[in-house]
Structure 1
Amino acid sequence: MTEDTPAPDADAPLTPLVPDDPDAAALEAVAGDGDPGPLPDAPRGTSELARVYAALLARAGETMVEPRLDATRRACELLGDIHTAAPVITITGTNGKTSTARMVDALLTAHGLRVGRFTSPHLHRVTERISVDSAEVAEPVFVRIHDEIAPVLAVVDAELDAVGRARLTFFEALTVLAFAVFADAPVDVMVLEVGMGGEWDSTNVADAQVCGFSPVGFDHMAHLGPDLTAIATTKAGILDRTVDPSPAPDPVAVVAVQEPEAERALAAQIAARGVRAVWEDRDFAVVAREKAVDGQLLTARGAVGSYPDLFLPLHGAHQVHNAALALAICEQFLSDGEKPLDAETVAQGFSQVDSPGRAEILRSEPTILVDGAHNPAGARVLADTIAEAFDFREVVGVLAMFGDKDPHGVLEHVHRFADRVVVTEAVSPRAMPVDELAAAAAEWWDPDDVLRAEDLNAALMQAIDLALADGEPGIGIVVTGSLATVAEARTLLGRKDA
């Protein structure tokens, strides 16, 4: 492992994920990775949040997508056009959206703006998805705003019922709630991460001044299409104007490096709309980077400025490129791309960035790293990051996935860094059965190197025993496969902050 690996609670026991823990419910409601499930009884002190969360979970889950904007727009308009209450930055893509959104938030905050950020999924608490001033919305505020907008949600539900259409979904209602929180604060800017796709994602009811595109890859093909052209075309829908008159009639697209097919599709959509665009490696770029204690140093070239020696407290080349994308987005938003940002302020912003559940170290001796990679592109990035940033002499992988994901696409890259793997089941009705995942793993590892565990707690204990068996340091444990898996691991290891 690296010399800067932290040692949080190295000897602390695992914390069981008990049935009455509301965090168990959070594992059931991971956007794109999990379907909202039944809400367990909540401990004292969280009954109001549990009540509101139960009401949200009673709606159609996040994998039950309604490709529409009119329902969310109707609710926002009835609430006083809350989707236009502040300028908007929207970020779509396949991987890196959340990290990029958090970086944009940090940079704008460093520049003195009050930022409202809406991201998904959450790791432990639904309140994590909505933040103001870079902090998770307080439970009383979340509850109060939900109760204030609930009558309007009921009106829209009734209108949809009357014409035989599905009621507002979990994600649609949560999007409306986020807009309402931001309007109530109020905030100076809203940073919105698209939940799925772009064209018909509920966040797209807001017209973004700047539209960011992280790398587009394969995921959610049942909803987005079978190839990168279809997926990228749907994501380019965030460039559409849905408000009349639009508060941002001339958006700018800021585009990260893409696969050639995705780049061609995005370029075609941008040209068709006559939108101005800035592209990574043409208009902005990562100039240099090097490993540093607890992260890395980068020099970035923006569209209008140069920013040397920025400290980013995250590992992996992908995070440096996310940072370049975030910086270019902020240049366009704060100065219309006409003048550079203050380099010291940019450095201050990046120094405050974190990204829980993404190449995150939770414990040392042995080092336990968690990462929410759940598709081939995410697993490839994880493998690259481990190879570059860590000096493990051996790695034990711990893996739990969902049944609608591509196990071999993920295992191909997990196999690059894991010498052995312990497979188990995620806490979700959509979990891939352990026997199915073990059979897939047996095609990549020798049979003796594929172990099974009945749950993640048992898998972690088994992995720790393997890592400590010979008494020599340097064996790492990497937990991955979904963000639900990461969330459960964080809970078991006593980390519920996100």
Structure 2
Amino acid sequence: MTTIDFDLDVAEVEQRLLARWPETRIAPSLERIRAVTDALGRPQHGYRSIHITGTNGKTSTARMVEAILLELGSSVGRFTSPHLADIRERISIGGRPISPDGFLRAYRDVAPAAEAVDRESPTPLSFFEMTVAMAYRAFSTAGIDVAAVEVGMGGMWDATNVIDAPVAAILPIGLDHVDQLGPTRLDIAAEKAGIIKPGALAVTARQTPEVEQLLRAHADAHLARLLVAGRDFGLGGRRASGAGQIISVNGLAGHYPEVPLSLHGRHQAHNAVLAVASVEALLEEAIPLDVLRRALGSARSPGRLEVLPGTTAVILDAAHNPDGARALAAGLSDLGPRPTVAVLAAMGDKDLAGMLAALEPVVTTMICTRNSSPRSLSSRETAAAARAVLGADRVVEVGDLADALVEATAAASTLSTEAQVLVTGSVVTVGEARRLLGL
């Protein structure tokens, strides 16, 4: 007999999900998620999908894929993780977070099957596996045409990988989650290559020669095609603008000049190129230029080089590894040289020294704090690492994120009328900062 309580609200369901294994803890198997989706009638096979992996840029790319498909008139679902403020952000239908009623319905549909799997398996379904199953069910219930699905971690054993995506999109592969995925880029690439399905078309960002060779070998072994940025498609040019940038894209099926992109930074231009190629691969045709211009000109990716105008500009960026921090630093340069007071709170399992080294050239003052996650480094630990890179005179320690934001605004106002505040270090940090800032 089921013990599912159907008289729940979103907050109560979230707490039940959080009581499961966290998404940072994985057991490498698709058996549990497959058992649940099988019990639900394999909802993930009722629509086409674009499956997106890589080290950084997955959420932004998924959002741009979604924006293009919506502008084309498709019914679209998007699954991304983690969320900034509201768990419903992870499951988007029609360009909006799933409604509270839709979220609750998805949980009620999935929970009995999950409980049955929990009874039979030595490892219970994790938080992440549950949200994936809920997303796939919700997409099926909504009758979507296409899903843009972001991998949570890796690819091969990621719970999202029970989809049979005809298109795989692979962003640049760097070093992150090394405890789970392996210590080298090749180890990590081998995991991420697992989303390339037999007969699929894979589009990849430019990778190191060794990583590209590994991806190509995997694609060949599965009779899939691999198309590579810079060779088969690519960025034709870009220039920064006040609202983001103007890019030209040499796609798989068309050339798209003078496309406005409402996101900042060269890395977002390359993410846009991969999004365009992914949609072209799915459609097997070019995208009308006016459609692409409208879609990318209105695309949004909160917490990713997000600029909040005001008396003192605030920039929010969820960079949480050295590659992400380097892209952030380059993006700040794109916005113009300004004194920058950074608020940094990072997780204890990240390469903090590498992040600090990347940010050092573009930061005037670093305010080190912590976020609410139990995985967060303390402000003391973060400040000690920052002093080793930036020097003691550029580092301030503040124990609470809310106080750190106040301190940063005050410090920026004393530097220059052009000074800006940067908040970075993790998705959790940026999400909490957005709430504190009233967003």
Tell me how far apart the structure 2 counterparts of residues 330 and 71 of structure 1 sit (CA, whole Å). Answer: 30
Matched, 1:252 2:201: yes
Q: Which runs of 5+ in 2 are unaligned?
A: 1-6
Tell me how far apart the structure 2 counterparts of residues 289 and 221 of structure 1 sit (CA, whole Å). Answer: 33
| Preserved contact between residue 362 and residue 493 of structure 1 (Cα < 8 Å) | no
Q: Which amino acid aligns with 2:363?
A: A
Matched, 1:130 2:91: yes
| Preserved contact between residue 395 and residue 418 of structure 1 (Cα < 8 Å) | yes
Aligned counterpart for 1:399 among listed residues 336, 344, 348: 344
2:358 aligns to what?
413
Report matched runs for 1:31-180 at 5 Å. Answer: 48-160=9-121, 165-180=122-137
Q: Which runs of 5+ in 1 are unaligned?
A: 1-45, 241-248
Q: Which amino acid aligns with 1:233?
A: A
Secondary structure in 1 aligned to 2:350?
A: coil
Report matched runs for 1:332-351 at 5 Å. Answer: 332-335=281-284, 339-351=285-297
- 1:152-173 Cα offsets, whole Å, 9 max, x none, are 111111111xxxx211111001
Tell me how far apart the structure 1 counterparts of residues 111 and 83 of structure 2 sit (CA, whole Å). Answer: 22
- 1:282-337 Cα offsets, whole Å, 9 max, x none, are 110110111223111111011121011111001000011001100000111012xx
1:6 aligns to what?
none
Matched, 1:385 2:334: no
Q: Which amino acid aligns with 2:71?
A: A
Secondary structure in 2 aligned to 1:53?
A: helix
Tell me how far apart the structure 2 counterparts of residues 410 and 259 of structure 1 sit (CA, whole Å). Answer: 21
Q: Which amino acid aligns with 2:209?
A: P
Secondary structure in 2 aligned to 1:469?
A: helix
2:311 aligns to what?
365
> Are the structure 2 counterparts of residues 469 and 293 from structure 1 closer, same or farther at C-alpha, using a change threshold of 3 Å?
closer
Secondary structure in 2 aligned to 1:372?
A: coil
Which runs of structure 1 show a deviation greater than 3 angstroms over 4 or more consecutive aligned residues? none
Matched, 1:475 2:424: no
Report matched runs for 1:283-362 at 5 Å. Answer: 283-335=232-284, 339-362=285-308
Tell me how far apart the structure 1 counterparts of residues 223 and 359 of structure 2 sit (CA, whole Å). Answer: 42
2:403 aligns to what?
458
Matched, 1:188 2:145: yes
Matched, 1:214 2:171: yes
- 1:398-447 Cα offsets, whole Å, 9 max, x none, are 11111111110000011011011110112111111221111111111221
Matched, 1:280 2:229: yes
Tell me how far apart the structure 1 counterparts of residues 298 and 115 of structure 2 sit (CA, whole Å). Answer: 40
Q: Tell me: higher relative CO, structure 1 or 2? Use CA pairs within 8 A at least 6 residues apart.
A: 1
| Preserved contact between residue 49 and residue 166 of structure 2 (Cα < 8 Å) | yes
Tell me how far apart the structure 2 counterparts of residues 361 and 135 of structure 1 sit (CA, whole Å). Answer: 21
Q: Which amino acid aligns with 1:447?
A: A
Tell me how far apart the structure 2 counterparts of residues 105 and 78 of structure 1 sit (CA, whole Å). Answer: 28
Tell me how far apart the structure 1 counterparts of residues 317 and 341 of structure 2 sit (CA, whole Å). Answer: 14
- 1:369-400 Cα offsets, whole Å, 9 max, x none, are 110000000000000000122331x1111111
- 1:199-240 Cα offsets, whole Å, 9 max, x none, are 000110111010000111100001111100010011000014
TM-score normalised by the chain length of structure 1: 0.85
Deviation of residue 364 (structure 1)? 2.1
| Higher helix proportion (structure 1 or 2) | 2
Tell me how far apart the structure 1 counterparts of residues 124 and 69 of structure 2 sit (CA, whole Å). Answer: 35
Deviation of residue 47 (structure 1)? 6.5
Deviation of residue 450 (structure 1)? 0.9
1:488 aligns to what?
432
Q: Which amino acid aligns with 2:190?
A: T
1:265 aligns to what?
214
Deviation of residue 464 (structure 1)? 1.1
Tell me how far apart the structure 1 counterparts of residues 401 and 378 of structure 2 sit (CA, whole Å). Answer: 13
Secondary structure in 2 aligned to 1:288?
A: strand
Q: Which amino acid aligns with 1:386?
A: L
Tell me whether 226-235 or 49-58 shows the greater mean CA deviation: 49-58
Q: Which amino acid aligns with 1:435?
A: R
Q: Which amino acid aligns with 1:268?
A: A
Q: Which amino acid aligns with 1:255?
A: T
> Are the structure 2 counterparts of residues 438 and 283 from structure 1 closer, same or farther at C-alpha, using a change threshold of 3 Å?
same
TM-score normalised by the chain length of structure 2: 0.96
- 1:77-128 Cα offsets, whole Å, 9 max, x none, are 1111112111111000010111000000111111111001100010001100
Q: Which amino acid aligns with 2:156?
A: E
| Preserved contact between residue 198 and residue 204 of structure 1 (Cα < 8 Å) | yes
| Preserved contact between residue 199 and residue 222 of structure 2 (Cα < 8 Å) | no
Tell me how far apart the structure 2 counterparts of residues 81 and 296 of structure 1 sit (CA, whole Å). Answer: 41
Identity rate of aligned residues, in percent? 41
Count of equivalent residues? 433
Q: Which amino acid aligns with 2:114?
A: L
Deviation of residue 263 (structure 1)? 2.0
| Preserved contact between residue 371 and residue 401 of structure 2 (Cα < 8 Å) | yes
Q: Which amino acid aligns with 2:85?
A: H
> How well do the aligned residues superpose, as a CA RMSD in angstroms?
1.3
Tell me whether 252-261 or 419-428 shows the greater mean CA deviation: 252-261
Q: Which amino acid aligns with 2:417?
A: P
Q: Which amino acid aligns with 1:423?
A: C
Deviation of residue 473 (structure 1)? 0.7
